Amino acid sequence: MSDLEELVREELRARVAAAEAQHPQESAVALLRGLDRRISVTRMRRRWTGAALSAVAVAAAIALPLTLLAPAPTLIPPVGGGKHGTPPHGTVPLSDPSLTPPGWTPLTYRDAQISVPSSWVVQGPLGSVCGVTTHGGVLFGRQYRPARLSGCRLPPTTVFVSAIPYRLAAGWGGPADQALTHRINGIPVARLPAAGRALSYAALSLGVEVTAVGPKAGQVIATLTRAPRSVALAPGRPFAVPSGWRRHHFGGIVFAAPSTWPVKRTSEWSNCLSRPVRPGVLTLSTATEFGCRGGLASPVGLAGEQRPIAGMSVGAGRVAVQGATPGRYWRCIRLHGVRACTPREAAFVGVYLELILYLPGRPLPTVVEIGLAGTGATTRAILDSIKPR
């Protein structure tokens, strides 16, 4: 091997060692979490694509002979707003926190929220609850298929929450529409056939299918409501800032927040995936150093660890935007002329809403994290108040 080859080998190893020192082992946890989310999103996309292709094929198979034989063209009913719990223009239905019994924790997936006892185990699409010795478990991104679970000892009550291609189903105008005969807390749902004593419902407007098996199945299903994240991001009229709130200027933005939240100014930024927002506190951080000293939450979480909190953090330094790269964004919106993006890792987290704001004239984006406790109205009012300074 030549000197140059030896030098290249040394350089590559030295670079990796330096990079690893800056990104310690806990990023493996972030990798697993991000992977969980990405797999569920990819699966959802595939299902949508598959369903769309099937729908097109079926529609073509039906429409072609009809077009050839029928004397007049068949009218297809338009897909309108206001169906399936979709709010009419300008109004946004809120999440209902009173549906969460004491000692239980609300969990969100896509636009839906269910509540379960805080001691239950919560897992993503790659996780398993087989043999878990708690009273209950929740599997997000997984459907209940008894045949696949043969040999698996499920907790006494297990809840499966998965995405459905709801926009497609809502626009189908056929069996899915007619099947919305039930309502759970005002949300139209379709009762799905399920094996054994499982309860299974599809909530098209929330984009989820919920199946619960076990003694607490009915109680869990009865807590179904809209997720606060969905309230905050739903289209509709902006929420007015309640009187008594205070306006703050920080990180290139102006925003309003409840005056009851004490303001904490710091240079630290907690990039821990578990709790970046301090409960009941407005944190304004220059984000020049890491504040993650408590370690990361385990990827196998308990429901109680996912409890949404009230509070807000604004980070305006380089530490806050680490990992904020466009390839990792789930979705971007325009907020008073500012581009605001949600990272994929935080896209479906029910604890807080994370937005990365690209402000004109600022070299680094500003990161805003707003707690998702309550009805979603506070989060939305804060979000609607954010403007570039």
Report whether 370 contacts 257 (CB < 8 A). Answer: no
If the CB atoms of residues 40 and 379 are measured against another protein, the closer one turns out to be: 40
Q: Collect all residues with Cβ–Cβ distance below 8 Å to 51 and sequence separation of at least 6.
A: 165, 168, 169
Q: How far is the CB of 322 from another protein (least distance, A)?
A: 7
If the CB atoms of residues 129 and 232 are measured against another protein, the closer one turns out to be: 129
Q: Would you say how long the chain is, in residues?
A: 389
Question: Does residue number 165 form part of the binding site for another protein (CB under 8 A)?
Answer: no
How far apart are alpha carbons 358 and 298 in whole angstroms? 31
Q: How far is the CB of 14 from another protein (least distance, A)?
A: 7
Question: Does residue number 264 form part of the binding site for another protein (CB under 8 A)?
Answer: no
Q: How far is the CB of 383 from another protein (least distance, A)?
A: 22
CA nearest 97: which of 223, 201, 184, 218? Answer: 223
Q: How far is the CB of 348 from another protein (least distance, A)?
A: 15
If the CB atoms of residues 97 and 299 are measured against another protein, the closer one turns out to be: 299
CA nearest 204: which of 223, 222, 184, 232? Answer: 184
Q: How many residues bind another protein (CB under 8 A)?
A: 44
CA nearest 291: which of 317, 311, 252? Answer: 317
Where b means 16+ CB within 10 Å and e means fewer, 211-225 reads bbbbebbebbbbbbb
How far apart are alpha carbons 192 and 248 in whole angstroms? 49
Report whether 370 contacts 351 (CB < 8 A). Answer: no
Question: Does residue number 128 form part of the binding site for another protein (CB under 8 A)?
Answer: yes
Phi, psi of 184 (to 5 degrees): -120, 115
Question: Does residue number 9 form part of the binding site for another protein (CB under 8 A)?
Answer: yes
Which positions from 17 through 76 interact with another protein, judged by CB under 8 A? Answer: 19-20, 22-23, 25, 27-28, 30-32, 34-35, 38-39, 42-43, 46
Question: Does residue number 152 form part of the binding site for another protein (CB under 8 A)?
Answer: no
Stretch that binds another protein, among 5-13, 79-87, 216-224, 307-315 (CB under 8 A): 5-13
The count of other CB atoms within 10 Å of the CB of residue 294 is 10
If the CB atoms of residues 317 and 371 are measured against another protein, the closer one turns out to be: 317
Backbone φ/ψ region at 227: left (φ over 0), alpha (ψ -120 to 50), beta? beta
Question: Does residue number 267 form part of the binding site for another protein (CB under 8 A)?
Answer: no
How far apart are alpha carbons 340 and 323 in whole angstroms? 15
Q: How far is the CB of 110 from another protein (least distance, A)?
A: 18
Tokens encoding 183: 């309502």
Question: Does residue number 4 form part of the binding site for another protein (CB under 8 A)?
Answer: yes
Tokens encoding 112: 């839906």
For residues 311 to 330, the per-residue mask of contacts with another protein, x marking binding by CB under 8 A and - elsewhere, is -------x--xxxxxxxx--
User: What type of residue sits at position 33?
Assistant: R
If the CB atoms of residues 243 and 334 are measured against another protein, the closer one turns out to be: 334
If the CB atoms of residues 258 and 323 are measured against another protein, the closer one turns out to be: 323
Which positions from 339 through 378 interact with another protein, judged by CB under 8 A? Answer: 364-365
How far apart are alpha carbons 279 and 83 in whole angstroms? 36
How far apart are alpha carbons 313 and 78 in whole angstroms? 43
CA nearest 224: which of 203, 241, 246, 238? Answer: 203
For another protein, which residue of 51, 126, 168, 179 counts as binding (CB under 8 A)? 126
Question: Does residue number 289 form part of the binding site for another protein (CB under 8 A)?
Answer: no
How far apart are alpha carbons 171 and 318 in whole angstroms? 44
If the CB atoms of residues 8 and 58 are measured against another protein, the closer one turns out to be: 8
Q: How far is the CB of 31 from another protein (least distance, A)?
A: 5
If the CB atoms of residues 4 and 68 are measured against another protein, the closer one turns out to be: 4
Where on the chain is the footprint of another protein (CB under 8 A)? 2-5, 7-9, 11-16, 19-20, 22-23, 25, 27-28, 30-32, 34-35, 38-39, 42-43, 46, 126-128, 318, 321-328, 364-365
